[in-house]
């Protein structure tokens, strides 16, 4: 989806801008608008109107602050910010911000990927904002609902129930721990020229340094793996912050990373090899050439 946005949005803008620059030009039909009346395109049979009128406002709701669960979902979850959900950047017009009908349709398609009509309470969309104590999952965005009784939880659950109960969750890619331990983790201590290793700044998180002169213990690797998973959208390398932050902005990476850049092209062989893993397609301890390091020493 991000790729589509990256390619088509600039194209669309170019068309719009050139149309504005030349008011007398005739309208162009170059951009095909999907036929949303086609029932085949309604994601998982979910009700679009309920989505637009009741669910989408939840993403937009201002929560009084600027950090964690005091912010609106959209503050973190636009397709640009590379957190799952892939909401469209808001349109600003006459001092108000909103999603156009077209954008809401796009949001609907993206959000539908995170729901499971066959098993509504197992929907990622319901589990992330819910407190772990109430059965939710750890969420970098924080806790928004203390219990399943929360009115927003109820609204979202009600919407998911409109979906086709035969249709379940989109499969979530399984990331292999062995491959992480053998092939991914050494990336954090093998900097490129003139750069600092990731361990220097992310040592307390996913990039724990190895014990001096030896390899990470299994437990250390396990902890780093768990921490790194929160920076990954399994199956979707384009929306995984792990692959986005260290990529140069001119190659489509994040506009800001205090740690500098490791990849200057999206097709950097190391990044491609890591993408295979994020897609769930790399497993085991046999590392591809781009991920072979001598340091730290293996026992
Ligand atoms: C402060 C930033 C922030 C806010 C605010 C935020 N999120 Fe998130 N959210 C994230 C990040 C980062 C991730 C990816 C890592 C993770 O799963 O914690 C994420 C992950 C998710 C996921 C995917 C979980 C999974 O299964 O992988 C869902 C669904 C989600 N958020 C929904 C929401 C909703 C709904 C709201 C508003 C009620 C919200 N988020 C508010 C940052 C935020
Ligand atoms: C000089 C310190 C420094 C180094 C070295 C560094 N980073 Fe960072 N990184 C930061 C800081 C500070 C942030 C948070 C602010 C920002 O996004 O720039 C960050 C943010 C991130 C994030 C987003 C984290 C989140 O919670 O959203 C990722 C992913 C990341 N870095 C990956 C890496 C990787 C991979 C490496 C090694 C190749 C690396 N960084 C090296 C300082 C560093």
**pLDDT, tens only, 127-177:** 999 999 999 998 988 999 999 999 999 999 999 999 999 998 888 899 999
Q: Is 145 in the pocket of ligand 1 (CB under 6 A)?
A: no
Cα atoms in the 13 Å half-sphere on the side-chain side of 296: 18
Token pair listed for 239? 């929306």
Burial of 265 (0-12, 13-18, 19+ CB in 10 A): middle
Q: What is the pLDDT of residue 143?
A: 94
Token pair listed for 170? 């989109």
Low-confidence ranges of the chain (pLDDT < 50): 1-5, 7-41
d(CA 183, ligand 1 centre) in Å: 28
d(CA 192, ligand 2 centre) in Å: 15
Three-state DSSP class for 96? strand
Q: Is 270 in the pocket of ligand 2 (CB under 6 A)?
A: no
pLDDT digits (tens, 9 = 90+) for 107-121: 999 999 999 999 999
Q: Are 110 and 101 in contact (CB under 8 A)?
A: no
Residues 6+ apart with CB under 8 A from 135: 121, 127, 148
Which residue out of 84, 186, 202 has the highest number of ligand 2 atoms within 8 Å of its CB and is therefore the one to mutate? Answer: 202
d(CA 55, ligand 2 centre) in Å: 33
Burial of 166 (0-12, 13-18, 19+ CB in 10 A): exposed
d(CA 177, ligand 1 centre) in Å: 23
Residue 59 CA: which ligand 1 atom is closest? 37
| Bond from prior residue into 296 cis (ω within 30 degrees of 0) | yes
Closest protein CA for atom 13 of ligand 2:
258
Residues 6+ apart with CB under 8 A from 280: 173, 174, 175, 176, 234, 235
Question: What is the radius of gyration, based on Cα positions, of the chain?
Answer: 21
Closest protein CA for atom 6 of ligand 1:
141
Angle among Cα 216, 220, 223 to the nearest 5 degrees reads: 145
Token pair listed for 275? 């993408």
Closest protein CA for atom 42 of ligand 1:
141
Three-state DSSP class for 276? helix
Q: Give the number of other Cβ atoms within 10 Å of residue 287's Cβ.
A: 16
Three-state DSSP class for 130? strand
Of the candidates 145, 3, 133, 2, which has an alpha carbon nearest to the alpha carbon of residue 73? 145
Q: Are 135 and 85 in contact (CB under 8 A)?
A: no
Q: Give the number of other Cβ atoms within 10 Å of residue 98's Cβ.
A: 12
Q: Which ligand is nearest to the CA of 247?
A: 2
Which backbone phi and psi does 9 adopt, to 5 degrees?
-60, -50
Residues 6+ apart with CB under 8 A from 213: 296, 297
Q: What is the pLDDT of residue 66?
A: 76
d(CA 128, ligand 1 centre) in Å: 6
Q: Is 259 in the pocket of ligand 2 (CB under 6 A)?
A: yes
Q: What is the pLDDT of residue 299?
A: 67
* Bridge partner list, 241: none
d(CA 138, ligand 2 centre) in Å: 20
Token pair listed for 287? 């590392």
Q: What is the pLDDT of residue 70?
A: 84
d(CA 79, ligand 1 centre) in Å: 12
Residue recorded with tokens 């950047």? 89
Q: What is the pLDDT of residue 255?
A: 86
Q: Is 86 in the pocket of ligand 1 (CB under 6 A)?
A: no
């Amino acid at each position: 989806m991000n790729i589509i946005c990256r390619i088509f949005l600039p194209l669309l803008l170019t068309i719009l801008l050139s149309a504005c620059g030349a008011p007398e030009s005739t309208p162009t039909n170059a951009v095909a608008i999907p036929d949303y009346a086609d029932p085949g395109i309604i994601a998982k049979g979910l009700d679009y109107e309920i989505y637009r009128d009741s669910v989408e406002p939840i993403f937009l709701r201002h929560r009084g602050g600027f950090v964690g669960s005091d912010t609106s979902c959209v503050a973190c979850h636009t397709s640009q910010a590379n957190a799952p959900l892939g909401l469209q950047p808001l349109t600003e017009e006459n001092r108000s911000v909103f999603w156009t009908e077209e954008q809401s349709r796009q949001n609907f398609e993206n959000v539908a990927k995170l729901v499971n009509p066959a098993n509504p309470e197992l929907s990622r969309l319901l589990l992330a904002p819910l407190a772990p104590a109430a059965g939710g999952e750890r969420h970098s965005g924080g806790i928004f609902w203390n219990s399943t009784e929360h009115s927003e939880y109820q609204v979202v659950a009600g919407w998911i129930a409109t979906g086709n109960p035969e249709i379940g969750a989109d499969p979530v890619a399984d990331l292999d721990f062995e491959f992480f331990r053998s092939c991914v983790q050494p990336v954090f201590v093998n900097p490129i020229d003139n750069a600092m290793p990731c361990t220097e700044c992310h040592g307390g998180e996913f990039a724990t340094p190895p014990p001096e002169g030896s390899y990470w213990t299994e437990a250390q690797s396990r902890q780093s793996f768990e921490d790194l998973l929160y920076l990954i959208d399994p199956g979707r390398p384009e929306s995984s912050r792990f692959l986005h932050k260290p990529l140069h902005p001119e190659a489509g990476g994040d506009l800001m990373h205090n740690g500098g850049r490791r990849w200057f092209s999206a097709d950097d062989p190391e990044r491609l090899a890591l993408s295979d893993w994020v897609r769930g397609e790399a497993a085991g301890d046999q590392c591809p050439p781009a991920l072979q390091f001598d340091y730290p020493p293996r026992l």
